[in-house]
Amino acid sequence: MINLIGNELKKIFKKKTIYILLIIIVGYILLSNIIIKATDDGYSYHYYYEGDIEYIENYLSELDPNNPSEYPDFASFKRQLETLNLTKKYGNDSWQAYVINTKLPGYIDTMIEYEYSNGVTEKAYNEAKKDYEIALEKLDADDWKYFVSKELNETNKAIDEQNALKENVQNSGALAEINKTIEDLQVQKQVDTWRLEKNISYAPSFLNDAIEKYYNSQTSLNDYDSTKVNELSSDELQSYHSLLEEANLNKYYIDNMVTLDNSNRNTLINLFSNYELFILIVGIVIAGSIVSDEFNKGTIKLLLVKPYSRVKILLSKFIVCMIILVLSIAFITICQTLIGGIIFGFDGLSIPAIVYNFDTNSVETINLFGYVALIGICKLPIYILLTTLAFACSTIFTNTALAVAVPFLGYIGASIINQLALLYDFKQIIYFVTPNWDLTYYLFGGSPLFKGLTAPFSLIICAIYLLIMLVVSLIVFKKRDIKNI
């Protein structure tokens, strides 16, 4: 058997196809890393683009603020023009750009309304103008904490008002709505407190991004009733877990002041999402031709006259396909590590992967390459089953094109099949292979695609499909007549 495996490996590495595939993979990894490097502008806002001001000025000149039908458009474009001019002054990459476009529009709207309304007293206009001028002074003084403190005070006041309102409410629906409002305000309070304590300004950065993501995910989590999580459907539970993971991971980043900006590290963490297609191409192309080529070229006769049983010959070919599959994963991992390291540096590789464990409700750190290996092991059923499908088609039909095409159709159609099953609540889908072959869903206490699935059950289903394909291949191969080949 070892000699057979060795001979099969020699045959494969004599083929030009394998080297063409490897060159394409290296080229793709190099090109994708160069593109990421060239297009990565870090963390920045994109509120202002050249030409925006001129466009709005031209449009604004055609509107009459004294015309009631045109005033709403006039006020809207007038505010946009003011924010664009201010954003241009400080730049898209400044913390001021965020404040101007998220916190100042209210000031500007008030100024415009008071300026063009006849029913506003001079005192009210001057007070609004004074507030706006103070805000502009703080922008010039680089005092971002003024806006955070102001928002924090307003949030505390709003919380007190909601708590006072709650005391006089008896209706359960209204009470639930007030509690939801308080929960969201508490999230805003936490975010503002973090900014002041951790010195995280509104300027574009990893931690500022983490604060924004935490706020969005945590307020979305507040929409769920934590006591009824078990009653959620499969897709709802997936969404809930995704929000829970994002909220807790970003909280960890902020609490520990962790900054993760290395693109090589990020690409490695998402290695199988980025390069899964190439892993499958190598595995499927080799498996789809390893038997059919022997029949098409007539070399199968030379192979079968050797003192080995047909079972050993076929199994040796299958084992070689699995070896090539594993080698392709290792090759892609090494290439990304080296190419990404050369382009982005190797410093980020020392930072561990950070994951959320749903079983322990805690954030954990794992060695980066240990994490990549773990994801790879959990993805192996997909690669093994599709490679085995190509191998089975190659053996049964002795047609390389068909043997390569069928697995790729299965790979493309898998997500469609799963989505249709979720849409129409087709519970029998759990006995099909596609909801079971991605074991990453079970990592760290995660939820499977469909209720009722467990890791052992999925492994058994995958093993059954694997055995069926191998047994059928062995039966056909043993019975095939080669006299006329």
* Predicted confidence (pLDDT) per residue in 85-95, tens digit: 999 899 888 99
CB 5 within 8 A of CB 317: no
Q: Which of 191, 177, 169, 260 is nearest to 222 (CA)?
A: 177
The arithmetic mean of pLDDT across residues 105-120, rounded, is 78
Residue 40 confidence (pLDDT): 77
Alpha-carbon gap, residue 224 to 190, rounded angstroms = 19
pLDDT tens readout for residues 151-163: 999 999 999 999 9
Q: Which residues pair with 335 in a beta bridge?
A: none
> Would the pLDDT of 483 be above 70?
no
To the nearest 10°, report the CA torsion of 75, 78, 79, 83.
180
Question: Would you say residue 428 lies in a domain?
Answer: yes
Question: Would you say residue 158 lies in a domain?
Answer: no
CB 213 within 8 A of CB 246: yes
Question: Would you say residue 354 lies in a domain?
Answer: yes
Structure tokens at 182: 């308080």
- Residue 306's region, left for phi above 0, alpha for psi from -120 to 50, else beta, is beta
Lowest-pLDDT range of 303-307, 319-323, 345-349 = 303-307
Amino acid identity of 95?
W
Residue 441 confidence class, pLDDT cut points 50, 70, 90: very high
- 76 vs 1, which has greater pLDDT? 76
> Would the pLDDT of 119 be above 70?
no
Chain-wide mean pLDDT for the chain?
89
Residue 433 confidence (pLDDT): 93
Question: Would you say residue 36 lies in a domain?
Answer: yes
The arithmetic mean of pLDDT across residues 375-395, rounded, is 95
> Would the pLDDT of 485 be above 60?
no
Q: Quick one: what percent of the chain has pLDDT higher than 70?
A: 98
Question: Would you say residue 61 lies in a domain?
Answer: no
Residue 189 confidence (pLDDT): 96
Question: Would you say residue 405 lies in a domain?
Answer: yes
Residue 63 confidence (pLDDT): 85
Number of domains in the chain: 1
User: How buried is 230 (Cβ within 10 angstroms: 0-12 exposed, 13-18 middle, 19+ buried)?
Assistant: exposed
- Residue range(s) defining the domain that contains residue 469: 2-41+264-479
Collapsing DSSP states into helix, strand and coil, what is residue 365?
A: strand
Residue 109 confidence (pLDDT): 84
Residue 41 confidence (pLDDT): 67
The arithmetic mean of pLDDT across residues 98-102, rounded, is 92
pTM of the model: 0.86
Question: Would you say residue 446 lies in a domain?
Answer: yes
| H-helix or E-strand spanning residue 157 | helix 144-166
CB 372 within 8 A of CB 388: no
The arithmetic mean of pLDDT across residues 343-359, rounded, is 90
Cα 135 from chain centre: 37
Question: Would you say residue 467 lies in a domain?
Answer: yes
pLDDT tens readout for residues 393-402: 999 998 999 9
